[in-house]
Every structure is written in C-alpha cells, then in structure tokens.
Structure 1
Amino acid sequence: MFQRALPPASLRSIWPEGGVLVGGAVRDLLRGNVPNDWDWAVPDPRRAAETLAATLGGAVFALDETRGYYRVSVLSGTEAQQHDLVPLPPRLDDDLLRRDFTVNALALHLNGAVSDPSGGQRDLKARRLRMVSEANLMADPLRLLRAARLSVTLGFGLEAQTREAVIRLARDPLPLPAPERVREELHALLLHPQAARGVLLLDELGLLPLYLPELSDCRSVTQGGFHHLDVFRHSTEALHQLLLRFPDAPLALRWATLLHDIGKPPTREELGGRVRYHGHERVGAELARQRLEALREPHTLTAEVSALIAAHMLPLPGNEREARRFVHRRRALLPGLLALMLADREAARGPSSSDASRLAYQQGFDRLLAALEDQPAPEAPLLSGQEIMAFLGLSPGPRVGEAVRALAEARALGDVQTAEEARTWLLNGGWHSGAEQG
C-alpha cells in the first residue's frame, strides 16, 4: 500500500542520499507532528552520518561499527534531536514486517511514497494500535510494555487481538528485557499527562507484576478510614491528583507519588477490628529504593524518591512555630513533599474524611506555605563552626555539628537573629538538650 506524502522542504534538504525514513518518525510526520528521534535506512550509514552531522551541526557516535549503526546528536536551543542511521535492507518491506506495531512499520521515501506492507496508515487513521504479528511481540519482550506505553502516549486504543496477545504473553512471560530499556519505557509513561491511566493499563494487561511487583501487591488491599479505594487504586488516583495540580511535576515526584504506599501490604495489621499500617512509610521508602535501583535509576533520583516516601506521613503543623521548624528540617524535599502530601490527601475520600478534617489539613498547608514564603532559602549562618568552637572551647567532633545544627534551627524559628544573640543562646546551653522534636 502506498500513499503520496511529500516530506516537508526542511526535511528534504537533509535527506541522506539514497535513504528512506522508517518507523516512528514516519508515523509522527503522517500525524502532523515533528519527531525528535529519526531513524534512517541508508546505503552508507557512516558517510550519511558524517554528512548529516556537518549539515545540522551535530556530533556522530558509532553505536555498532561492525553492523554499521551510527547516531547523530543535535542540540538546538533546549531541544535535543537524534538521527539513527542503519544499513538499507535489501528487501525493505520484509524488514518493516519484522517491526512491533503496524503504525511503526512504515517507511517514507524522498519522492513522497509511503511503504506500508501491514496497513499501518489505516490504523493511524482509526487511532488503533495493532501488532504486526504475535511472533513479533515474542521476538522482543519489551514490546509488551511498549504496547501500553504507546497506547497512552499516542492516545490510541489497543486492537482486540493485540490486547489478548499481550495478556496471554504476560501470563507466560518471556525473559524480562534489560532494566535500562524497561526504565526508559516507564519514564515515557510516567512523564505523560495521562500517566495514571497508563499504570491502570499496565494492570489490565497483566504487566504490573512483571515490572512493578510491589505496586501490584497493593491490589485489593483495603484500607477504610480516610480512604475509599484500595491501596493500588489510591496510589494511581494520587498520581492523577498530582498531575491535575502540578502538570510539570518532575519524574522523582511522580515516582514517589505512585509508590508512596507500597509499604502498606507488608505492614498491614488488624487490631481490635481496625486496620493499621504502622511504619509503612519507612518500609515503602526501602522497597522503592530497591525497585528503582533494580531499574538502574540514578542514585540522586532514587534517594529523593525514597526520602519523599519516608516523609509523606509527617503531621502538618498546628502553629507558625511548628511550620517554621517543618520548613527548616525538610527544606531539601520542598515543595515536592507538599505536593505529594496534597495529592495523597485529595485521593482519600473515605468515611473519616469530613469538611472539618479537610479544613484542618488546608490550614496546615497554609501555615507551611506561609513559612516557606517567609524563608524561601536557608539563611547564612550567624556563626561559623570555627567561631562556635572557639567561643565554646570545643574540639572538632560531633558536638560541634550538634551546636551548628541547633543554632541554625533556633534562627529559623526566630529565637535568635544576630550574632550576639547567637552567642548568648549558645552560652546559656539551650543546644545541649537538642532541638525540639517535631
């Protein structure tokens, strides 16, 4: 099947000699979108890559010199673009028919012809994601996860036979793909505005136990009290509430919101007819750390997610002083922690939730926002560690750190405001008893 679809002039000017554009870039162009990732099949990949890099002002990277795979990376302003170049196959249609989904089994020629051996253009028009064949899904287990991700990010419905095939293959799973590949698919899903719907689709397709087993374990774990949903549905609803209010939420905050209650199943207890999850935030923080490390997430992101989950059950302040202390102690997690706590609360509308409880929660938030506005950044220390050591006659050691931290908190609470007040406060020994709890 062929359709005329002349490439835009800007694309024709960089078209590699004798090459064709293949895959998702063709799909995006036919939908009227400009892709960031371009896949080219060309007679001479190395030469084409060097020419393209010179034209676009990019850099060439050899992905696999033996097979002739090259990449050209281009940075234009804040936009990153990459062009992958591979050898042109002797039989293009045969190569397209080995791809995952029909809407990706497309090739665009310089003269505007579209090679479409599997009917991908019909599926594009119908907004339908359909596998080329079940054998192709089995050839790369990551394609099961891609089915869910593409369905959500493209806004396409899964064709019935494709859905059935994914569910069937998920029940008798193939070896799991490399963690880094799984991570990139999950990132694409979580960073989409409909991320919560994507997680629900993973569950419907039977993929959740394979890729996020701790979240899968939350299914059918009932809660009661403030909650009207089981732990899994509450978690996805919290992610939905987060993105309604904070559509630009960073990836770490999205992960933390989705995984914030995965510590509940292993900590669930029934005492006197009441259910509780004592310490679930600590257990959940550790489970999230393990899962993200298994996905080869960067250490900084993993640590942030774990810290957010560990702190999400902190009580909101009842007065201005408590609010200032909260901001001082949790500044590194703000404002993300507040967004997580708000999403968690808005996803809980059980019988214990009332207008009065919601008002009290809002007042606590207002106090924190006021304190954060009043102290948008840490204040410079009134006395350095060396000055404190000299003034108190201390030797280097833990007690110096204790004094530095206590003085910083005293300043955040408004107890001291000048260097002289700081010296008086230290001399009076208030820091020996440690900072107030809260």
Structure 2
Amino acid sequence: MFRRALPPAPLRSIWPQGAVLVGGAARDLLRGSVPNDWDWAAPDPQAAAEILATMLGGAVFALDQERGYYRVTVPADGDDEARQHDLVPLPTRLEDDLLRRDFTVNALALHLNGTVTDPTGGQKDLKARRLKMVDEANLRADPLRLLRAARLSVTLGFALEPRTREAVTRLARDRSLPSPAPERVREELHSLLLHPQAASGVLLLEDLGLLEQYLPELAQGRGVTQGGFHHLDVFGHSGEALHQLVLRFPDAPLALRWATLLHDIGKPPTREEANGQTRYHGHERVGAELARQRLEQLREPHAVVGEVSALIAAHMLPLPGNEREARRFVHRRRALLPGLLALMLADREAARGPSSNAASRLAYQQGFDRLLAALENQPAPEAPLLSGQELMALLNLSPGPRVGQAVRALAEARALGDVRSAEEARTWLLGGGWPSGAEPG
C-alpha cells in the first residue's frame, strides 16, 4: 500500500461507508481525470446504492440481486454525460480480487483515507504511461481483454508493454479461445471509433492480429491495390479516410464513422481485371450489404445499421455539374445529408493517387460548393403543395403506387424550382410535366 493525496472533497462527501473505489475509476482518479463510470466495492452494496441514489438524485437498478450487484444511474447535468455507479460486495481479500484483473493500471483500489491498494505495481505503470498485463492467464480467462488492450492503449495514450503486446498478438491467433459476446465487442469498438485517434486504433487492431477476428471484411482489404486516384491499398485507404473524417469533423457521430471506415469493404469481393484496368463494379452495393451483416452481428441498433448501409450505398454518387443537378441531389438524398458529404470528402481526401491532380480536385470542390449552396437553399422539406387526395382527384388516379410516384415527382419538381405554388403544381401535372422526370432513386 502507498499513501496518496486524499480524494477530492466532493467525492469524499458521497463516499459509501467502508467502500473502496476500484479498477478503471481508481486509475482515472489517480491520473487526475474524472471517471465516466464509478466502480465501488462496498460491505453492503444495496444500502450503499440506495444512499448514493438519494444523494445524487439517481435511480437504483439491481444488476444481479443474488450476487449483490447494483447500479446507480445519475441523470446528465447540463453538457455532462449521464454517469453510473456500480457497486459489488467488498471481497474478503481485496488483493486477490485485484490480482484477477486485466492490466496493472486497473488492479488498483483507492480508499477514502487516500491509501492505495496496489499489488501489481500499477501506480508505477500509470506514471510511465505503460499498459501491462497482470498475468497472461487473466487475458485467457476473458478474451475480450485482448480487444480492451488495444482500446485502452489508444484511449489512455499508453504504450503496450512488450510482453503484453506479444501475449495479445499470440492469443489473438488462438481460435480455441471463446468468442466474447457481440454486445461487449461492440462497446469496445465504439470506444475506439469515437476517440480522436480512431484511425490509430484500427491500425493497432491490425498490428495485434485482432482485425481478422472482429472486422474480417475490413482486414480483407490488406494488399488490395487500387491505383488511379488511390495511393494506398483498400485497408490503408479505409483507415486514412476515417482519419480525414475525424480530422475535419471531430464531432462526427458513430454511424458516420462506421460508414467511413467500412465504405470500401465491397471492393475485395468485386475486384475485376479487364483490359489492364482494375474495376470494382457495384462495390458500394456489396459493401452496404456486408456492413449491414457485420453491424447486425454486433447487435447495433437498427437505425445505425440502416444509416451506415445507406451511406455506403450512396458514397459513389457523382457530384453535380450544375445548380439544377445539385438541387436534385439534395432533394433525393436529404435524409443522408450532411453526413454523406462528409463521407465523400473524407474518401476523396484519403485518395492521393496518380490520377489525382489540381484540375480534378478543383472539379470536386466545385461540385461540393454547389451541393452546399443547394443544401443551404433547401434546409428542410416543405409541406406538400397538393395532398394525396387532391392529386388523385386531379389525375383521376386510384390509391396505389402511381399516387406515390406523382407525389415524389411533384416534390422533386418543386425542389428544382419548376413549380412554386399549388396552381403551378396543377398546371405542371396536367400539362404533362409528370411523369417526364426520372423517378427519384
């Protein structure tokens, strides 16, 4: 045990009686940062949870009542994220419990009087910014800890200790180890993707041999050269695109980050050589389906899966050559904007191959400028000029698909500036304007 500075006064005021702060929460507090989640070992977890909930205005949930596991969820305050406190029974031998943990910097327990229980030298590794396993057997006991090694290395900015790196790399190839639950894998990947160094995290997964297990479609892009506008293989380009996205849009949401990372996973299965040229015909459609399957396996919410798949399917759309095309683009793809533009920009900026030159970059920038102008002029969908009933009466249509086609055609004509009022809409429809335009895709 080592004497440390006392915990901050606000924390001491809510400290559960007889409890110790353990694991990542103790680690973060000792390194001077505020934990997002608090892990307590308390003599009476239920009583401690009820007192915490009363003091913090939170709610108590029994995670496992028989084992005495409880959680207190505290509502978000202003811009702060909602925080949670997990409480478990205080073990008879605290040191034995800490020795079963994954890494030395997590095998720490902070006491109210400032004493730190540190049986593995975690404080020394914390000071050295070093991620070191407690024991290889602990990694084997829970293979998710291999993925956590990459996540913690990136999010904490700690270097993997050489023996730990070797063990993780070796165990990543051991297919006899059980696969972690998809939901646990998903949460680790989320932490990586949402970090400012997300692209470095993906590269570390590759270096440690973990990419093949958790994102095999992405790993298949290794060594798949492209040429043309690309100077990197498919895998390298995907990581660089994610880097470009986060660099330009630090607040990019999770779905957009997933879409950017996975936008070209359809290239390896669609690669064709013809007349000395390499083609990836339809890779965006194949990639959208592969991404959907992978994210569903990770138990991502349906909304996230749908958005990622739609973004990937649309990322190869040509940029508009004039204002009218820009207005049509915005009208047809409004649900994906502005995320689709961010993905397309990141894709382009990650491609610096021999076909990329000043003229092509200028043309691309002009297309973007047209889209941004059109998006500014069409900030939100407007109420229809004519209702479905009015359309059916005007065109003598029965309920069915043709009504939907007429509604969409009229909405696009309005977005393009061809009609501006209900009267103009009637004239346009009766005058043969519909269905002269292409059906929105």
Question: Counterpart in 1 of 2:149?
Answer: 147
Aligned-residue offset at 1:437: 7.2
Aligned-residue offset at 1:434: 4.3
**Counterparts of 1:339 and 1:162, CA distance in 2:** 37
Contact 1:73 1:81 in 2 (8 A): yes
Contact 1:27 1:104 in 2 (8 A): yes
Q: Does 1:241 align with 2:244?
A: yes
2:297 aligned residue (294, 298, 305): 294
Q: Secondary structure at the match of 2:333?
A: helix
**Counterparts of 2:173 and 2:425, CA distance in 1:** 65
Question: Counterpart in 2 of 1:42?
Answer: 42
Contact 1:215 1:232 in 2 (8 A): yes
Give CA deviations for 1:47-80 in whole Å, capped at 9, x if unaligned: 1111111111110000001100000010132421
Contact 2:327 2:374 in 1 (8 A): yes
Aligned-residue offset at 1:176: 1.0
RMSD, aligned α-carbons: 1.0
Question: Counterpart in 2 of 1:327?
Answer: 330
Q: Does 1:361 align with 2:364?
A: yes
Question: Counterpart in 2 of 1:83?
Answer: 85
Aligned-residue offset at 1:3: 2.8
Tell me the amino acid that sits aligned with residue 126 of structure 1. A
Give CA deviations for 1:14-41 in whole Å, capped at 9, x if unaligned: 1111111101111111111111200110
Unaligned ranges ≥5, structure 2: none
Counting only pairs closer than 5 Å after superposition, residues 399-414 of structure 1 correspond to structure 2 as 399-414=402-417
Aligned-residue offset at 1:435: 2.6
Tell me the amino acid that sits aligned with residue 129 of structure 1. L
Q: Does 1:16 align with 2:19?
A: no
Contact 1:149 1:185 in 2 (8 A): yes
Aligned-residue offset at 1:218: 0.6
Give CA deviations for 1:89-132 in whole Å, capped at 9, x if unaligned: 00000100100000000000111100000000000110000000
TM-score, L = length of structure 1: 0.99
Q: Secondary structure at the match of 1:432?
A: coil
Tell me the amino acid that sits aligned with residue 34 of structure 1. V
Q: Secondary structure at the match of 1:137?
A: helix
Contact 2:409 2:440 in 1 (8 A): no
Give CA deviations for 1:201-242 in whole Å, capped at 9, x if unaligned: 000000000100000011110000000000000000000000
Query: Greater shift after overlay, 426-435 or 51-60?
Result: 426-435
**Counterparts of 2:396 and 2:120, CA distance in 1:** 81
Question: Counterpart in 1 of 2:69?
Answer: 69
Contact 1:53 1:59 in 2 (8 A): yes
Q: Does 1:382 align with 2:375?
A: no
Tell me the amino acid that sits aligned with residue 161 of structure 1. R
Question: Counterpart in 2 of 1:99?
Answer: 101
Q: Secondary structure at the match of 1:249?
A: coil
2:123 aligned residue (103, 121, 137): 121
**Counterparts of 1:370 and 1:21, CA distance in 2:** 53
Question: Counterpart in 2 of 1:54?
Answer: 54
Contact 1:409 1:435 in 2 (8 A): no
Contact 1:268 1:275 in 2 (8 A): yes
Question: Counterpart in 2 of 1:205?
Answer: 208
Unaligned ranges ≥5, structure 1: none
Tell me the amino acid that sits aligned with residue 376 of structure 1. P
Tell me the amino acid that sits aligned with residue 404 of structure 1. V
Aligned-residue offset at 1:433: 3.5
Contact 1:5 1:114 in 2 (8 A): no
**Counterparts of 2:391 and 2:277, CA distance in 1:** 51
Q: Does 1:393 align with 2:393?
A: no
Counting only pairs closer than 5 Å after superposition, residues 278-293 of structure 1 correspond to structure 2 as 278-293=281-296
**Counterparts of 1:413 and 1:122, CA distance in 2:** 65
**Counterparts of 2:9 and 2:413, CA distance in 1:** 65
Q: Secondary structure at the match of 2:278?
A: strand
Aligned length: 438
Question: Counterpart in 2 of 1:336?
Answer: 339
Tell me the amino acid that sits aligned with residue 279 of structure 1. G
**Counterparts of 1:50 and 1:9, CA distance in 2:** 21
Q: Secondary structure at the match of 2:14?
A: coil
